[in-house]
Each structure stands twice: as structure tokens, then as C-alpha cells.
Amino acid sequence: MKKRLGPSDRLYPMPVPLVCGGSMDEADACAVAWIGICATAPPRLAIALRESRRTLELIRGSGTLTVNTPRASDAAVVDFFGTTSGRDRDKFAESGWTLEPSSLVEAPRIVECPYQMECRVVQEVELGSHVLLIAEVVESHAEEAVLDETGGKVDVTALDPLVYIAGSREYRRLGDKVADAYSVGAKVGRE
Ligand SMILES: Cc1cc2nc3c(=O)[nH]c(=O)nc-3n(C[C@H](O)[C@H](O)[C@H](O)COP(=O)(O)O)c2cc1C
């Protein structure tokens, strides 16, 4: 039997990349779990940020941002970026994490994150608690060490991305592969 839990903002699990705004001279980044791909051609991300985030202020300055996927082993640094504000602390100086220029946008990328997306904000939607940024992905980068044997796709085992569990407030890593997508479903009803 299922128990009713009421309206919930929890989806299990969530990614938790670092969203970065600003420039090589002045940047800030914060942990963002409320994020997802919402269109393919062109690719777009939906990113929900509270108005109070300094990162949002810097994103608005150039209209650009980057989304940087951290390794599971870097949970402590991600948590630091998600629990301190650039208004009070220099998160890059204190963590030792570093920036590299993007190819097409002003917002820089975070070197220590092996998968990175460069984006231009194309729309802002006011949602009350959060501002929803619709951001077009104009470029992406991956460390060669996290690419599969074809060299064109990310190998998620090598990437080992950090995952966030709302509610219990835990960081986790992904488990084992269970099946091939767009394929395993063909068997249903035929066996
Ligand atoms: C696991 C985790 C997930 C978070 N997800 C979001 C989010 O989706 N949107 C948001 O506005 N803040 C989110 N935060 C909070 C910001 O990362 C945090 O307030 C940060 O200190 C803001 O930094 P800034 O003021 O330098 O931008 C999250 C924090 C953590 C720890």
C-alpha cells in the first residue's frame, strides 16, 4: 500500500552540477540540483535558482553560464560550493578549484569537473520561490579520460558523477547498469 505524502519537490535521484557565472576575472559557482535537459534541437537546460544567489547575479551580467559535472569523490567541495555564498567567501580561493576560459561564452568552466557545458540564457521565467533559466547549450567538453572507446561519448562509469538525494540530504554515486535503453523494452509482452 502507498502512503500519501502531499505535494513534494523531491525527485529521486538528482544530478548536482556546479553552475558557474561571471568571467575569468570575477566568477562564482553554486551547487544546483534543480536542473535538467528540456529540449534537444537546439539543446536546452532548465535551471532553477533562487533570486538571492550571487551566481545568478553574475549569470545575468553576461547572459551566459556553464554547467560543470563533478566527480563523486569531490562531494565535499561541491557541498562547500552549495553551502557558502560568493557574497561572503571566495569559494575558488578557499577550495583551490580553478577556472578555465570557455570557447564560446564569457562564463568560465571549472577545471576540476570532467564534463562541462557552455550555455547562453535564452529565457527567464519567474516562478515565485525560484527563477527558471532556460539556457541553450552551445558547446560541451569532456576530459579524454571519461570518454568511451569511440571517443565521442561520455562513459558514465569513468565519469562517476556525483548524485544528490533530496529528503535524506545525501550525496551518492551511480550503481550498476541494469539494461540497454530504447532496447530492453522490446521484450515486454513477448516472452
Ligand atoms: C545539494 C545542493 C543542491 C542545491 N541546489 C540548488 C538549486 O537547485 N537551486 C538553488 O538556487 N540553490 C541550490 N543550492 C543552494 C546553493 O548552491 C547555495 O545557496 C549557494 O551557497 C549559493 O551560492 P552563491 O550565493 O555564491 O551563488 C543547493 C545546495 C546544495 C548543497
6 lies in a domain? no
Q: Is residue 54 part of a domain?
A: yes
Q: Is 147 a domain residue?
A: yes
* DSSP per-residue letters across 111-123: TT-SEEEEEEEEE
Answer for the pair 38, 46: CB distance below 8 angstroms, yes or no.
yes
- Each residue's pLDDT, cut to its tens digit, for the chain (191 residues) gives 999 999 999 999 999 999 999 999 999 999 999 999 999 999 999 999 999 999 999 999 999 999 999 999 999 999 999 999 999 999 999 999 999 999 999 999 999 999 999 999 999 999 999 999 999 999 999 999 999 999 999 999 999 999 999 999 999 999 999 999 999 999 999 87
For residue 34, the model assigns a pLDDT of 98
This prediction has a pTM of 0.98
Q: Is residue 19 part of a domain?
A: yes
* Residue 111 resides in a domain: yes
Q: Among the atoms of ligand 1, which is closest to the Cα of residue 55?
A: 27
What confidence score (pLDDT) does residue 51 get? 98
Test site for ligand 1: of 32, 57, 69, 88, most ligand atoms within 8 A of the Cβ = 32
CA atoms within 13 A on the CB side of 168: 9
Q: State the pLDDT at residue 191.
A: 75
The whole-number pLDDT of residue 175 equals: 96
Residue where the block lists cell 533530496: 166
Residue 131's CATH number: 2.30.110.10
Residue 85: count other Cβ atoms within 10 Å of its Cβ: 14
Q: Given strand 162-165, what is the order of strands in its sheet?
A: 14-15, 162-165, 170-173
Report the number of distinct structural domains present in the chain.
1
The reported pLDDT for the residue numbered 65 is 99
pLDDT at 76: 98
* 179/28 Cα distance (integer angstroms): 38
- Residue 3 placed within a domain: no
Does the Cβ of 34 fall within 6 Å of ligand 1?
yes
Q: Is 7 among the domain residues? A: no
Q: Whose CA is nearest to atom 6 of ligand 1?
A: 32
Q: Is 119 part of any domain?
A: yes
Residue 93 sits in which domain range? 14-187
